[in-house]
Amino acid sequence: MLSVDRSRQAVADQIRVPAPDLVAVQWKREAAKDRHLPIGADEIAKLIAADEAFLAAHPITKQPRRNRGRSDHH
């Protein structure tokens, strides 16, 4: 059972890390379905809400790089 406890603690620790994007927020929602995590549903909900608020206030604006490795100048 010790390794299961460590695994659940690792998931709880990861949930507490700020999400860098919406994919990470979705992962947190899925991970939170494990009712045996050593983190409360209220705390998870607050963390997800904080992530969503931050991501809404700071949208990703970086455009994908085109022609990677190729110069437009000839």
pLDDT reading at 1 higher than 90:
no
Matching residue, tokens 């010790």: 2
Express each pLDDT in 10-67 by its tens digit. 999 999 999 999 999 999 999 999 999 999 999 999 999 999 999 999 988 776 667 6
Enumerate the domain spans of the chain. Answer: 10-57
More confident residue, 63 or 2: 2
pLDDT at site 61: 78
Q: Please state the length of the chain.
A: 74
Alpha-carbon gap, residue 52 to 16, rounded angstroms: 13
pTM of whole model > 0.85?
Answer: no
At a CB cut-off of 8 Å and minimum separation 6, what does 54 contact?
18
pLDDT reading at 72 higher than 70:
no
